[in-house]
Structure 1
Amino acid sequence: MMTTGRIQFAESEGTFVLKFIGDVRLTLCAALDAYIERIFSALDFRAIVIDLTETQAIDSTSLGLLAKLSLLSQKKVGFLPTLVSDNEDMNRLLLSMGFDQVFNMLPTCLEPTAPLQDLPPQQLSEELVRDKVLEAHRILMGLNDSNREAFCDLVNALESGC
């Protein structure tokens, strides 16, 4: 049985940790996007760790926002975030999306020194949700040709307002 998804976070000494738990879907994307903005406004930024060890499922919009996080990290501070997953099915998905090109991928990581807290929920209008979905999928399409082909119809439909 799938556990309703949630995203937890912790910050300690310039390291930002995001832990995805259960079935992570579009409904969590506004909170995730807001937290991404918070990470890059920090002055003592040192590392980002995304822990997917308790993730049962993740949708493409959430994956697109993770790719956005990595691309911003490379652009703003010049390094790849670390993505942790010990699940073979999840790793296959991540590799098929090209995440090995934009993350340091590891099977385990140290527990965060700060306690994890749930990201606060964020409400977005239907139009803003559509914009976030569109942005996330455009980012995924930019990672590799397979993604471009897989998400082309969705992006075209969202752009035309279908």
Structure 2
Amino acid sequence: MNPGKILVAQSQGIYIVKFLGDVRLNLCSTLDQYTDQMFADEFFKTVIIDLTETDCIDSTCLGQLAKISILYKEKYGQLPTIVSTRDDVNRILTSMGFDQVFYIVNELVSKVEYLEELPEQTVSEEQMKKQVLQAHKLLMDMNENNRDAFQDLVKSLEEN
């Protein structure tokens, strides 16, 4: 598998966040900090999540995407967009209920050429634990299947 990367671009308040390769826990702090910056931008209008080159995405990163959806819906009353062309990734998104909290489309209207890689953020073990817990709680709140799938993990994280 290709090591994961997050590429970003922004123009006139439109943000593109592109996941490449195997996107896992080590990139969640990076994504969380970028999400906070994005929503703090007074010119922020919309965000498009591009998963067209994502080989694999773990549940903690999915929880971070759920956070983006929640913040976007609170701010604008609408759903953000995910672009995904891979059947395996689409199955994960659908099984986790992402089709209810994102518009999922199979092509990007135009090609983005000026993406920059987000530098990976280093956080303490305690901060990482909090982010994993928050991400999985968000996933659990999306639907009953997710609640069943992650309740033991969340309980374990809360107890430790």
Structure-1-length-normalised TM-score: 0.96
CA change 1:32–1:24 in 2 (3 A) is: same
Spell out the pairing of 1:1-162 with structure 2 (5 A cutoff): 2-111=1-110, 113=112, 115-161=114-160
Offset, 1:77: 2.4
The letter of the residue matching 1:128 is Q
Any gaps of 5 or more consecutive residues in structure 1?
Answer: none
Offset, 1:80: 1.1
* SS of residue in 2 equivalent to 1:20: strand
Offset, 1:119: 0.7
Any gaps of 5 or more consecutive residues in structure 2?
Answer: none
Structure-2-length-normalised TM-score: 0.97
Q: 2:7 and 2:124 mapped to 1: Cα distance?
A: 23
Q: 2:111 and 2:121 mapped to 1: Cα distance?
A: 24
Say which is worse superposed, 44-53 or 130-139, in terms of deviation: 44-53
Offset, 1:113: 4.8
Task: Name the % identity.
Answer: 49
* SS of residue in 2 equivalent to 1:142: helix
The letter of the residue matching 1:88 is D
Aligned CA RMSD, in angstroms, stands at: 1.0
Q: 2:94 and 2:112 mapped to 1: Cα distance?
A: 29
Offset, 1:111: 3.6
Q: 2:102 and 2:112 mapped to 1: Cα distance?
A: 22
* Number of corresponding residues: 160
Q: 2:112 and 2:88 mapped to 1: Cα distance?
A: 28
Q: 2:55 and 2:80 mapped to 1: Cα distance?
A: 21
